[in-house]
Copies of this chain bind each other. A is one copy, B any other.
Amino acid sequence: MRATVIHGERDIRVEDVPDPRLVTGPEAGGRDAIVRVVASCVCGSDLWPYRGIQPTTEPHRIGHEFVGVIEAIGDHVTTLKPGDFVIAPFSISDNTCVNCRNGFTGACLHGGFWGVGTEEEGYADGGQGEQVRVPLADGTLVAVPGGTPDPALIPGLLTLSDVMVTGHHAAVSAGVTSGSTVAVVGDGAVGLCAVIAAKRLGASRIVAMSRHEDRQKLALELGATDIVPERGEAGIAALKEMFDGVGPDCVLECVGTKESMDQALSSARPGGQVGFVGAPRGGPELPVGQMFVTNVGVRGGMAPVRAYLDELLPDALSGAIQPGKVFDAEVTLDNIAEAYRAMDERRAIKVLVRP
């Protein structure tokens, strides 16, 4: 089959690789499924190795967001069958260990991540390929009820493998609830999904921090009530002024840089909360003295996608949320390098990839 392999900085190739196979050894235990990918995409976090900020020491598969159809299952898979249309969260989980039971499937004691490890270990495939072997299929995959969905729904379902759920995790981690006032730092796909999530959870006012006209428009379409284009001190001052001079209840940090986290921490009102989902690279460390004085809490991290899907999937199927709108470009698998380039250069918010 064809699959995407990253070789190094700005070196993305689509190559012939061995077809995935069900692993029957004691490690995998017949719990695999083979999924034929229907749609995948490029994540903001894929840009870290693409840009060389996270070094690539040897070529490996890449991609961790995909939806598809089950082609084959192992002997011990009980909840899925060939032909099921499935959503694959960006992490592999058994959904039974203590961390999964606590709702933190990204910390599954027996799980792992796409594109990491060897085939023997069971985690070799990345999501940006024609097929993927999925270990712990019962725990990891979620079948969409009603079989293959309307093609128009597929982009939205694809966001349930990562960005929509990551935006939701930011909102949940920040404690967004009915009537909350919210600011979203970051106007990428995750930030835009955080706007959707905040609206879905009942926020009374949602400020999107964005300097780009196209993203501002989309944020307003998705549920933002206000736009603040300023950043840094000016952005903090604008938010304070909008909310009683003290700032909003909740700030959703969807970038991961020192600047964005500083801005988020300084924007929330005393006793407010920052929900952060931007993967932090090389810091920042959080100023605990400032947090002590302001009582602004910080919570977040890798979204436990599997744990949220039962809640979010019905709304994506009904159209109550329309996160598929974050895709503003599409390529075929053979042209995936262009998807990386477009996202790297911020020409695209998010690019859908069809095998």
Contacts and interface: CB of A to CB of B under 8 A. Distances in A.
A107 B99 CA distance: 36
A270 B283 CA distance: 20
A45 to B, nearest CB: 11
Contacts of A244: 98
B304 A288 contact: no
A295 interface: yes
A300 B271 CA distance: 8
A293 interface: yes
Interface in A236-292: 244-246, 249, 261, 269-271, 273, 276, 279-280, 283-289, 291-292
B104 A295 contact: yes
A144 interface: no
Nearest to A284: B288
A223 interface: no
Contact of A301 (B261, B283, B291, B300): B291
- Chain A interface size, as a band, is 35 or more
B299 A107 contact: no
A246 B273 CA distance: 25
**Which residue, of A283, A285, A288, A300, has the highest number of chain B Cβ atoms within 10 A?**
A288
A30 interface: no
Contact of A270 (B107, B276, B294): B107
29 contacts: A98-B245, A98-B246, A98-B269, A102-B246, A102-B271, A104-B270, A106-B270, A107-B271, A107-B295, A109-B246, A173-B295, A276-B288, A279-B292, A280-B289, A280-B292, A285-B285, A285-B288, A286-B291, A286-B298, A293-B301, A294-B301, A295-B299, A295-B300, A295-B302, A296-B301, A297-B297, A297-B298, A298-B298, A299-B299
Interface in A293-318: 293-302, 304
A355 interface: no
A103 interface: yes
Given A280-B288, A286-B286, A288-B286, A106 B295 contact: yes
A215 to B, nearest CB: 24
A98 B284 CA distance: 30
Contacts of A271: 99, 102-104, 107, 304
**Which residue, of A269, A271, A304, has the highest number of chain B Cβ atoms within 10 A?**
A271
A295 B305 CA distance: 13
A244 B276 CA distance: 27
Nearest to A108: B270
Nearest to A106: B295
A275 to B, nearest CB: 9
Nearest to A297: B299
Interface string A107-134: 1010000000000000000000000000
B292 A276 contact: yes
